[in-house]
Homo-oligomer: A and B are copies of this chain.
Amino acid sequence: MASQTEENYLKSLFNLANEKSEVNISELATQMQVSMPTVNSMVKTLQKNEWLIYEKYKPVTLTPKGKKEAALIIRKHRLTEMFLVNKMGFGWEEVHEIAEQVEHIHAPKFFERMDEMLGYPTIDPHGSPIPDKQGRIQEINYLSLSDCKAGQTVILAALTNSSTEFLEFLNGRNLSLGTELKITSKEGYDQSIVVSYLDHSSETLSEKVCEKLLVKVLE
């Protein structure tokens, strides 16, 4: 059974491997906030457990077994976040830190019961997909708001970043998942976008914000 530490490495590996599939030691060290030698020794451990493939001086790759293990931890994380928001009344900006701990609990029934109480959700409070019990993850191809054009109407569907600060920024502007945004204009100079929604008739969002907002285009 994976230790709490190993589980956190697997999760980081899984997230960093989106698309590229390969992960550098230095990337992983940055992500995990540990030194490169620490990562070096940990990848050797993970390799012994057949969770990843490692060759000296090469980037590492998760094995199918490692991917499944990681996805199942991410499943527990996201179910927990959903439970905290929908069943315990937490704000979406408060749940990540708690889920970071709860995800390591070994009690299948606990998470099955959450799942059941939530009605088998497929996305978490930040719009990220919840892997199924087999560790399969359904990839949804949203568009980034920064790739949208003036005149389009879109629905805010997910975020590429769920830091507390960013979520509080969105809270401050009444922006939540499902909000319908009309794109009034786009500034060519700094790529900022002006949107209207709810009782906000004109809100300017910087490119930095727009690229973190994933949307479904309505028209």
Number of residues on chain A facing chain B (CB within 8 A):
18
State the A residues within 8 Å of B (CB): 84, 87-90, 94, 97-98, 101-102, 105-107, 109-110, 113-114, 117
A101 touches B97 (CB 8 A): no
B101 touches A106 (CB 8 A): yes
Q: How far is the CB of A216 from chain B (nearest CB, A)?
A: 32
Majority secondary structure of chain A interface residues (helix, strand, loop or mixed) = helix
Copies of the polypeptide in the assembly: 2
B117 touches A88 (CB 8 A): yes
A101 touches B94 (CB 8 A): no
In the complex, which residues of chain B have a beta carbon less than 8 angstroms from the beta carbon of A114? 88
In the complex, which residues of chain B have a beta carbon less than 8 angstroms from the beta carbon of A106? 101
Beyond A102-B105, A105-B102, whether A113 also contacts B97 by CB under 8 A is: no
Query: 7 A-B pairs, CB-CB below 8 angstroms?
Result: A84-B110, A88-B113, A89-B113, A94-B109, A98-B107, A98-B110, A102-B102
